[in-house]
Structure 1
């Protein structure tokens, strides 16, 4: 996280292997975290003025830790885009895990905005053969498979998934890139 934060603050570009396309995601979650960090910073200074000198030192350390964690989370998700090449789609969720899907396993991809409770790689409660792979609960892409794909979750039993819900900052463009890759044309 600290490396991502350093690189993000230094505005270093996100790099990957040649031929991989980046699909950004989770800007909505980052905006919420930014808003909370800003509010926390402002209220922190107000509270700091009401504390005795000994309490200010502890409070200042708490504020710095809170700010580093908030900005570090933003940096991790911004610097971990989904990756697509001719062989695989790698759905990444920053600190919450990732899922690599062989491109040939994907039957179709479509834009479908929705919400699936939770975060990270998880089961979809109302669908036995579906998983979601997102930082937040919002979804914007649906990937369907010809044959079930075995997905190992961090918690619980593996799932034979026929559908995966994911998100992208520009779901229409992401769906076009993935569809192009399905047709054999994933070139940057």
Structure 2
């Protein structure tokens, strides 16, 4: 049943998009077709709800049940969109994610991208106003385009908000390097072989290298003794041995990371137990 519901969803989504485009274009669609499309959507949602309840009764948690019903790429894209919107709220409330924990230091990395993202958001606002004026004579088209334009403005601001509210984090055991709402890589300190400041403006795609550029630049390079697994936006695993990232205060991050590595490597070994 799960496969049948997923196949129906894959078939129904393009059909709904075609109907929406026809409605926006002013094409007259028979009422029976619209009623059938809406009935199909309701039936699909009902089937999804039934499957969700069955999976929960089998002992699966909420997230596990959702993962079983929704393809991972779709779930990850929806999760990314949700994190962007949550980041807007965190940005307004000035509550960065993960910062403020005892023993954890946060290092921002969004300063150098602020100017062009603000500029892009301004262009989107101008486009919203212009399209609203041009489409005033077509109410349906005007409403659809207005919703899309407003969401685009929120999306662009969310990209910046996600970078502002998700700084790099360093504690006594792990370095977390992040970028926007889609990358959050935890690197255990014992796997870090070397760290250095290295300003780069060009980044070729290399196997085993993760480039987290901000405004097309990285300022810190972290070499690993053992690979760690990064997760791509759509869920694909990617083992990396070299991480290049950017920080507003790259020198401070490099020094703090060097001190953390020194403490981790020179920490006294635990006392041996009493002989039996």
Normalising by the smaller structure, the TM-score range is: 0.7 to 0.9
Q: Matches of 2:245 and 2:134 in 1, distance apart?
A: 45
**Structure 1 residues 43-122: aligned runs within 5 Å:** 43-53=127-137, 54=139, 55-115=141-201, 117=203
Name the CA shift for 1:95/1:13 in 2 (closer, same or farther; >3 Å): closer
Query: Please, what TM-score do these two structures have when normalized by structure 2?
Result: 0.56
The count of residues paired between Structure 1 and Structure 2 equals 176
Q: TM-score, normalised by structure 1?
A: 0.79
Query: Separation in 2 of the partners of 1:100 and 1:86?
Result: 13
Classify the secondary structure of the residue corresponding to 1:69. helix
Mapped pair 1:33 → 2:33: no
Is the Cα–Cα contact under 8 Å of residues 116 and 132 in structure 1 kept in the other structure? no
What is the rounded CA distance, in whole Å, between the counterparts of 1:60 and 1:108 in structure 2?
A: 50
Deviation of 1:136 (Å): 5.8
Tell me if structure 2 keeps the 8 A contact 1:96–1:135. Answer: no
- Give me the whole-angstrom Cα distance separating, in 1, the residues matched to 2:90 and 2:237: 36
The answer to whether the aligner puts 1:151 opposite 2:151 as a matched pair is no
Unaligned runs of 5+ residues in structure 2 are 1-83, 265-276
Matches of 1:20 and 1:140, distance apart in 2: 21
State the distance in 2 between where 1:5 and 1:68 align.
8
Cα offsets for 1:13-46 (capped at 9, x unmatched): 5544211000111332343222101111123213
Q: CA deviation at 1:74?
A: 1.5
Cα distance per residue 1:118-145 (max 9 Å; x no partner): xxxxxx624x443324466421101123
Alignment correspondent of 1:121: none
RCO comparison, higher one (Cα < 8 Å, 6+):
1
> Which sits farther off after the overlay, 58-67 or 5-14?
5-14
User: 1-side partners of 2:94 and 2:228: how far apart?
Assistant: 37
Coordinate RMSD, CA, aligned = 2.5
Separation in 2, partners of 1:106, 1:83: 15
Is residue 11 from structure 1 mapped to residue 77 from structure 2 by the alignment? no
Name the structure where helix makes up a greater proportion of residues.
2
Structure-1 separation of matches of 2:96 and 2:216: 27
Match of 1:165 in 2: 244
- After TM superposition, give the deviation of residue 157 of structure 1 in Å: 6.3
CA contact (8 A) 1:94 1:135 kept: no
